[in-house]
Structure 1
Amino acid sequence: MNQAQAFLNDFKSTRNFAELVPVLAKDEAFRTAIFEEIESEEYPFPEYASWIAVHFFEKFPGLMSREQFNSMVAVLLRTANHSVQRNLTNTLVNAPFDCSENGELLDLLVDFLHQSEALPALKHHSLRMIEKHYLPVYPELMRELRTLFEVISNHPKASMQSMARNFEKKYRKHPFYEY
């Protein structure tokens, strides 16, 4: 077990983001080691490292390196781990790098919205990524999103119905909203 893995094992019990985030901001080597654990296949390292990434990059998006960004996208594209999917999708919303040319990532995000078994948080963060990174460049995506949210509006979970209503309220005047 390396130092980052030992730290993540201890972090499971403390979960003290207020203390950790400033330490990561100051110590690039430690930060890099923690975020490299996102690539691990062994529980709990990718789950906790990606959760820490959410909190860290929300406060310090400019400290995300191109290598970390590329690694997170690669892990997101290949993982079936729901926690890691949710955490990385949330983290990448704040990415300081352009995602708009990555069609494979867009397809995955749309697929998360399509999947009836995808959890509401993953759908929410997928929509946020599309809104920030793709919709400004490809406004015609609105038509597909509208169709998706018409289906989501019939979801049995109230949170999903609410998400669909909020989407409709937010975008009904968008130039590509109508068919």
Structure 2
Amino acid sequence: MNQAQEFLTEFKTHRDFKSGTALLAKDKDLRTAIFKEIENEKYPFPEYASWIAVHFFEKHPELMTQKQFNSMVSTLIHTSNHSVQRNLSNALVYAPFNCSENGELLDLLIDFLHQSEALPALKYHALRMIEKHFLPVYPELMRELRTLFEVLSNHPKSSMQAMARNFTKKYRKHPYYEQ
């Protein structure tokens, strides 16, 4: 077990994001090693490393490196681990890098919104990524999102119905919403 895996194993017992985030902000080598564990396929390392990434990059987006960004995008595209998908789509909302040219990533995020088996939190974070990274560059995406949320408004889960209502409320005056 390496230093990052030892950190994650210990973190799993206390889940102290405040001290963990502070430590990672100071220790670049440990931070790099922890976020490299997102690529690992052995539980609990990618789950906990990606969960920490959410909290860390929300507070310190400027410390995300291009290499970490590329790794997280690649992992998100290729993983079938639902926890990692949810965590990475959340962490990447804070990314200081442009991903609007990544059509594969956009297709995946839209697919998450379409998938009936995708959990509400994954759908929510996929939408947030689209809103931040893609919608400003491609406002015409609103048409597809509107159609998608019309379908979600009939979802059996009340959280999905609320998400659809909130989407409509937020974007009904968007220039592409009614077109």
Q: Could you tell me the TM-score, scaled by structure 2's length?
A: 0.99
Quote the residue 1:56 is aligned against: 56
C-alpha separation in 1, matches of 2:168 and 2:19: 39
C-alpha separation in 2, matches of 1:171 and 1:160: 16
C-alpha separation in 2, matches of 1:41 and 1:18: 26
Q: Secondary structure of the equivalent of 2:99?
A: coil
Aligned length: 179
C-alpha separation in 1, matches of 2:52 and 2:92: 13
C-alpha separation in 2, matches of 1:2 and 1:34: 10
Measure how far apart 1:10 and its partner are: 1.1
Measure how far apart 1:139 and its partner are: 0.2
Segments of structure 2 that go 5 or more residues without pairing to the other structure are: none
C-alpha separation in 1, matches of 2:134 and 2:112: 15
- Tell me if 1:104 matches 2:104: yes
Supply the RMSD in Å over aligned alpha carbons: 0.4
Quote the residue 2:82 is aligned against: 82
Measure how far apart 1:176 and its partner are: 0.2
Residue by residue, what CA displacement relative to the aligned partner does 1:79-109 show, whole Å, maximum 9, x if unpaired? 0000000000000000000010000000000
1:5-154 equivalences in 2 (<5 Å): 5-154=5-154
C-alpha separation in 1, matches of 2:3 and 2:60: 23
C-alpha separation in 2, matches of 1:48 and 1:154: 33
Measure how far apart 1:6 and its partner are: 1.1
Q: Secondary structure of the equivalent of 2:89?
A: helix
C-alpha separation in 2, matches of 1:175 and 1:17: 40
Q: Percent identity?
A: 77
Measure how far apart 1:157 and its partner are: 0.3
Measure how far apart 1:171 and its partner are: 0.4
The one-letter amino acid paired with 1:15 is R
Q: Secondary structure of the equivalent of 1:98?
A: coil
Runs of 4+ in structure 1 over 6 Å off: none
Q: Secondary structure of the equivalent of 2:155?
A: coil
Residue by residue, what CA displacement relative to the aligned partner does 1:136-156 show, whole Å, maximum 9, x if unpaired? 000000000000000000000
The one-letter amino acid paired with 2:142 is M
The one-letter amino acid paired with 1:172 is R
Q: Could you tell me the TM-score, scaled by structure 1's length?
A: 0.99
C-alpha separation in 2, matches of 1:37 and 1:22: 19
The one-letter amino acid paired with 1:146 is R
Segments of structure 1 that go 5 or more residues without pairing to the other structure are: none
Q: Secondary structure of the equivalent of 2:96?
A: coil
Measure how far apart 1:7 and its partner are: 1.1
Quote the residue 2:160 is aligned against: 160
